[in-house]
Amino acid sequence: SVDIGLVVMALSVAASWFISERIRKAGEETGSSALTADSLHFRTDVWSGGGILLSLVLYRITGWRWLDPGVALAVGIYIVSAALPVFREAVDDLADRSLPPETVERIRDVIESHRPLVVDYHALRTRRSGPEKQVDFHVVICRKYLLEDAHRLADHLEKEVSRTLGGAHVVSHIDPCDTECPGKEKCERILQEVRMLGGEGPERKEAGREAPAGHPL
């Protein structure tokens, strides 16, 4: 009967909604455009099935014939409007577009928060390839750092940026300070802060060698 058909359709809509939400959450966690598109596929089933169900129920109550084409038009508009953002995101992934401006600003905030350990930074580049976010930048540090200390600071920065973005491939390039160098005395004080990043105190013996003046680390 018609009533049984309506019940079956309602159950189908509920199942499609549940599957759509599970896939959508997985797509958000992994950053997968394919999962986002598949979630949209099930969501359109929800809206189309729900629209048909609603129009049939309302038609039985009101007898309005325009409900069926009206609901069909509304569902069609929704499908198109929901598909456009997914389409744009997929194109951006294929084109290796830069990360959104607000994401780039978060990266800058992380680096800036490490002054004066970091004298300056430049050449910040970002891109997204599928679900993978990639970041690289040059960081200017005191030329008096030992190679081990310079590596410790760079590794710490990369981990902080990756953590802030919820996972990313981050590469930093180290440059020694030149005209903007804070000076040997200040560098020595800052150096103790760098060593604390690795859980070592000021009593740590200085092992390794200094980077040659004017030479990239």
Tell me: do 74 and 106 sit in the same domain: no
Residue 140 lies in a domain: yes
Q: Is residue 179 part of a domain?
A: yes
pLDDT in tens, 203-217: 333 333 344 333 333
Residues 6+ apart with CB under 8 A from 208: 146, 147, 148, 149
Q: In which domain, by residue range, is 29 found? A: 2-94
d(CA 142, CA 150): 9
In a domain, 203, yes or no: no
CATH number, position 107: 3.30.70.1350
Task: Answer yes or no: do 65 and 117 share one domain.
Answer: no
The pTM for the full model equals: 0.51
Per the domain annotation, does 35 fall within a domain? yes
**Separation CA 180–CA 93 (nearest Å):** 38
Q: Does the pLDDT at position 166 exceed 90?
A: no
**E strand or H helix at 124:** strand 120-129
Domain count, the chain: 2
Residue 90 sits in the same domain as residue 40: yes
- For the cut 80, the answer to whether the pLDDT of residue 131 exceeds it is no
Across 5-9, 17-21, 159-163, least confident range: 5-9
Is residue 123 included in any domain, yes or no? yes
**pLDDT tens digits along 21-55:** 888 888 777 767 777 777 877 888 888 788 878 87
Beta pairing class for 120-129 and 132-141: antiparallel
Residue 215 lies in a domain: no
Q: Residue 164: is its pLDDT beyond 70?
A: yes
Instruction: Name the nearest CA neighbour of 49 among 13, 15, 78, 19.
Output: 13
Residue 206 lies in a domain: no
Q: Which residue has the higher pLDDT, 70 or 139?
A: 139
One domain, residues 6 and 41: yes
